[in-house]
Amino acid sequence: MLRFSPAHGWPSASLSHRLVRHPLRAANDNGRMLSELGHGDAVLSAALRLFGAHGLSAAVRARESAEAARGAGDAAGYDWWLEVCHTLDARLARDCVRQDRRRNRAPRA
């Protein structure tokens, strides 16, 4: 059996000092704080309940609910479900907004 054994002291102190100049911190990759959403804990709570009920498809369910609210003319419901969707999957929420903008620009027959 062959086992890997790194050289003693790897990475060297001089190399590790160059790699890590600032202390490492966890970061929110969504770019917005929950307090900026306006609903804060309520949105997070709804997102967690939806995730508990639907698992990994929760963001898609939130987007479907946002689209249904938009179709019914419920602007507040659309904004709510879009925020829930954003909490679960920011990219999916941005795609929903882009698609909505395209529909609004398209000429109606």
pTM of this prediction? 0.62
Q: Which two tokens stand for residue 72?
A: 């019914």
pLDDT at 11 exceeding the cut of 90: no
CA distances from 89 to 9, 12, 83, 105 (A): 41, 39, 10, 25
Say if CB 49 and CB 79 are below 8 A apart. Answer: no
Give residue for tokens 């059996």.
1
pLDDT tens digits, 38-96: 567 899 999 999 999 999 999 999 999 999 999 999 999 999 999 999 999 999 999 99
